[in-house]
């Protein structure tokens, strides 16, 4: 068992001296051989997938027509650009906080997100074709910016799951997760949105809740008892600055994320205003709560993450007329909940439930997402009672709150069940090449 001696400086730069055991010569030789096997499988799997995607794109997909293309560029491109920056830059840099894992955090975000966007376009068309559009299977389907936007949303869910297992998996395991998870992302969307018509403007169900609990279910199987006390499972002054850059990009662009698929001007304006107000509330309260629970000082982990919880909690109902006071109050509540999650719940999950949530996705995406789902239940309940000509119109009228509740249960069920199955598959791959506990959270294993 490693012995840790921890000293904390005034700038929250934690230095840890750890007496970790060196690898034996036999372990070194075996590790090199398995690394080559994992590398070959990684490259082969990605190339096979790329060839498959090329074939599908060539025989099934085409460009959108001229009229729709003009409308999409004018109406949605700037929002797609903001969302793409969030996924590729924001999420990547937010996960650079482990002091020796920056290359992998950014590099794997880049690779996996790019792959998921490709794969998601096919799944998007497939599940929409199943939704009473079977003729799409026999004709070339036009692809436009909306499909790219949906691909980025799907990549966002996968990145959230990645955050739960950051530092403990091989590139091959990540690619396998990136192949499996988008299918169930779209299955959940097919059931809750295309069939049940649940209200969800910013992916609260499909991105945040699904991605968080899918990742946590995987994490249960990949958690090593040595991970939580690992000397590299901490930040340093420089890595925290990079993570703050990711936080600021996500914070500034989150209103675009929640407003991107709104179909009317009033819905888009509500989504932007409610999200921004909620983010400001979460930010103020996160600073207050962090100082109270951290012994008079601010904790960078709390500020980097809990400040964003206001965007997550507005993910489902941002476009509804919930009133500004409600948006602000929900942001404040989400900020407190997220901060307390990092301070109290994350250590409990690691110690008693065998879930080492590296990035704390339960605190940023899971619990605030569920809180947003509860908000949507009460918001649709109130609005369905007092409004006759409300925008947007509900598919199920006064029964819409029950649909919102059902969507929450279905999302949690699909995420946890198939996250467990995926976790078992990834655990099997870890026997092919298991990262030595000395190399957790360290780029030297793959860079």
SS3 of the chain: helix, strand, coil, percent, to 5 = 75, 5, 25
Look up residue 119 and give its two tokens. 């794969």
What is the arithmetic mean of pLDDT over 86-112? 95
CA gap 134, 130 in Å, rounded: 6
Q: What is the pLDDT of residue 351?
A: 86
Mean pLDDT, rounded, for 146-170 = 96
Q: Which pLDDT belongs to residue 12?
A: 36
d(CA 167, CA 441): 4
- Summarised one tens digit per residue, pLDDT across range 243-299 is 999 999 999 999 999 999 998 899 999 999 999 999 999 999 999 999 999 999 999
* CB-based contacts of 170, cutoff 8 Å, min separation 6: 38, 42, 429, 430, 433, 435, 445, 446
Residue 120 burial class via C-beta count within 10 angstroms: exposed 0-12, middle 13-18, buried 19 and up:
buried
pLDDT tens-digit readout, 351-367? 888 899 999 999 999 99
Dist. CA 426–CA 171, nearest whole Å: 11
Confidence of residue 430 (pLDDT cuts 50, 70, 90): confident
Give whole-number Cα distances, 324 to 63, 123, 275, 280, in Å: 41, 37, 10, 12
pLDDT at residue 199 above 70? yes
> How far, in Å, CA of 211 to CA of 155, rounded?
10
At residue 419, the pLDDT reads 97
Rounded CA separation 178/425 (Å): 13
**Is the Cα torsion angle 194, 196, 201, 205 positive or negative in sign?**
negative
* Mean pLDDT across the chain: 90
Give 34's pLDDT tier (boundaries 50, 70, 90): confident
Q: What is the pLDDT of residue 22?
A: 65
Q: Please determine, for residue 23, whether its predicted confidence score (pLDDT) is greater than 70.
A: no
Instruction: Convert the pLDDT of each residue in 214-256 to its tens digit.
Output: 999 999 998 766 666 777 878 899 999 999 999 999 999 999 9
Tens of pLDDT, residues 381-402: 988 777 556 656 677 778 899 9
| pLDDT one-digit tens code per residue, 116-126 | 999 999 999 99
In this predicted structure, the answer to whether residue 1 has a pLDDT above a threshold of 60 is no
State residue 387's pLDDT score.
57
User: Is the pLDDT higher at 265 or at 413?
Assistant: 413
Please count the CA atoms within 13 angstroms of the CA of 27 that sit on its side-chain side: 10
What pLDDT score was predicted for residue 441?
A: 87
CA separation for the pair 310, 127 (Å, rounded): 31
């Amino acid at each position: 068992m490693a012995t840790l001696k921890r000293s904390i400086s005034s700038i929250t730069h934690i230095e840890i001296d750890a007496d970790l055991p060196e690898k034996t010569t036999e372990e070194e030789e075996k590790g090199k051989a398995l690394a080559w096997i994992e590398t070959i499988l990684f490259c082969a799997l990605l190339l096979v997938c790329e060839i498959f995607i090329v074939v599908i794109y060539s025989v099934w997909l085409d460009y959108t027509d001229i009229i729709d293309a003009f409308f999409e560029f004018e109406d949605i491109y700037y929002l797609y650009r903001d969302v793409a920056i969030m996924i590729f830059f924001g999420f990547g840099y937010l996960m650079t906080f482990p002091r020796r894992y920056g290359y992998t955090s950014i590099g794997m975000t880049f690779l996996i997100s790019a792959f998921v966007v490709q794969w998601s376009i096919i799944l998007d068309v497939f599940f929409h074709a199943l939704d009473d559009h079977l003729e799409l299977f026999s004709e070339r389907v036009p692809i436009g910016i909306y499909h790219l936007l949906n691909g980025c949303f799907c990549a966002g869910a996968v990145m959230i799951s990645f955050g739960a297992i950051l530092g403990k998996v091989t590139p091959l395991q990540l690619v396998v997760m990136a192949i499996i998870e988008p299918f169930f992302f779209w299955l959940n969307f097919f059931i809750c949105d295309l069939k049940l018509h649940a209200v969800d403007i910013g992916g609260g169900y499909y991105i945040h809740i699904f991605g968080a609990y899918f990742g946590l279910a995987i994490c249960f199987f990949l958690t090593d008892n040595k991970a939580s006390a690992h000397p590299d499972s901490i930040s340093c002054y420089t890595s925290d600055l990079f993570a703050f850059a990711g936080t600021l990009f996500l914070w500034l662009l989150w209103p675009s994320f929640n407003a991107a698929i709104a179909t009317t001007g009033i819905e888009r304006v509500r989504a932007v205003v409610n999200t921004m107000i909620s983010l400001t509330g979460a930010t103020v309260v996160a600073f207050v709560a962090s100082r109270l629970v951290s012994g008079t000082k601010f904790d960078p982990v709390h500020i980097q993450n809990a400040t964003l919880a206001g965007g997550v909690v507005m993910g489902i109902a941002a476009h509804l007329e919930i009133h500004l006071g409600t948006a602000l109050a929900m942001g404040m509540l989400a900020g407190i909940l997220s901060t307390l999650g990092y301070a109290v719940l994350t250590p409990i999950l690691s110690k008693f439930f065998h879930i080492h949530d590296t990035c704390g996705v339960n605190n940023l995406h899971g619990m605030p997402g569920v809180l947003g789902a509860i908000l949507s239940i009460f918001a649709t309940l109130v609005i369905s009672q007092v409004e006759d000509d409300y925008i947007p119109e509900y598919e199920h009228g006064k029964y819409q709150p029950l649909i919102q509740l059902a969507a929450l249960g279905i999302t949690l069920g699909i995420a946890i069940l198939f996250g467990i199955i995926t976790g078992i598959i990834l655990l099997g791959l870890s026997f092919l090449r298991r990262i030595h506990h000395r190399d957790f959270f360290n780029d030297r294993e793959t860079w």
